Amino acid sequence: MIAPVTHPLLDRAGIRHGFFTREGGVSAGLYTGLNTGIGSSDDPEAVRENRRRIAAHMGGQPDDLATAYQIHSAIARVAEGPWCGDRPEGDAVVTRVPGVICGVLTADCAPVLLADAEAGVIAAVHAGWKGALGGVVHSAVTAMEALGALPRRTVAVVGPCIARESYEVGADFLDRFEHHDPGSARFFSQGATPDKRLFDLPGFVLWRLEQAGVGDAAWTGEDTCADESRFYSNRRAFQKGEPDFGRLMSAITL
């Protein structure tokens, strides 16, 4: 049975949403569960069925899913209806149209779902370290404002993603962040060796939401890398020498 993670911030706003786990899918092997990765090497029919199940859970049809071709950018796309033809490149999908299901795919990166319920404007954001550092959160909030949303009235939830305890990086990784904003150093702690650091991705994304003026934000608290039974993980697959990995969908609709 499909059992997405949800959060009270969006529940209280009356916004249908879900951070979908591996539960309830038809994929097998490395992808066992609810793999939605069109670009993965999974059976395309299984991926289509998984996406159909998610759309149905969200109250729609597969064609109602608006997902972009993600490129770790700061590009936000506005969906005025289901996209025809090729998906546009981008890492945030924003809409004010009821029935459009905004979605993003992740496998350690942070999915972020946002809503200004009063304005009737929502967004789904794919925030890996590169996109979060590059401004994808700000781009999404700006696109929402253009449709009538107010940042102070907006709520946001960061979904399951890789947590600090699982995210070891090199010291040069920290240098990139400090060059951009010295304040970001607080999201790094000492790793297992002097040349390693642990990066708090969800904490950093929450900070970026605060910087963008979002009124209230929270993280669901799940570590995708540490919980193999529920989540796909790029890093875990690499550590295990696996050739590919599934992708989780996070979705929101009016």
Residue-wise pLDDT tens digits, 194-213: 999 999 999 999 999 999 99
Structure tokens at 169: 């990086």
What pLDDT was estimated at residue 84?
Answer: 81
What pLDDT was estimated at residue 38?
Answer: 92
Beta-strand pair 248-253/16-19: antiparallel
Q: CA torsion angle for 135, 139, 142, 143 (degrees, to 10)?
A: -170
* Rounded CA separation 71/62 (Å): 22
Is 187 part of a structural domain of the chain? no
| Half-sphere CA count of 222, side-chain side, radius 13 A | 26
Q: Does residue 21 have a pLDDT over 90?
A: yes
What CATH number did the domain enclosing 243 receive? 3.60.140.10
Is 70 part of a structural domain of the chain? yes
Is 173 part of a structural domain of the chain? no
Q: Does residue 166 have a pLDDT over 90?
A: yes
Is 29 part of a structural domain of the chain? yes
**pLDDT confidence bin for 85, thresholds 50/70/90:** confident
What pLDDT was estimated at residue 27?
Answer: 98
Domain range spanning residue 16?
8-163+200-249
Lookup result for tokens 């064609």 = 63
Is 192 part of a structural domain of the chain? no
How many whole angstroms from its chain centre is CA 5? 12
Q: How many domains does the chain have?
A: 1
Is 193 part of a structural domain of the chain? no
Is 94 part of a structural domain of the chain? yes
Is 170 part of a structural domain of the chain? no
Q: Does residue 82 have a pLDDT over 90?
A: no
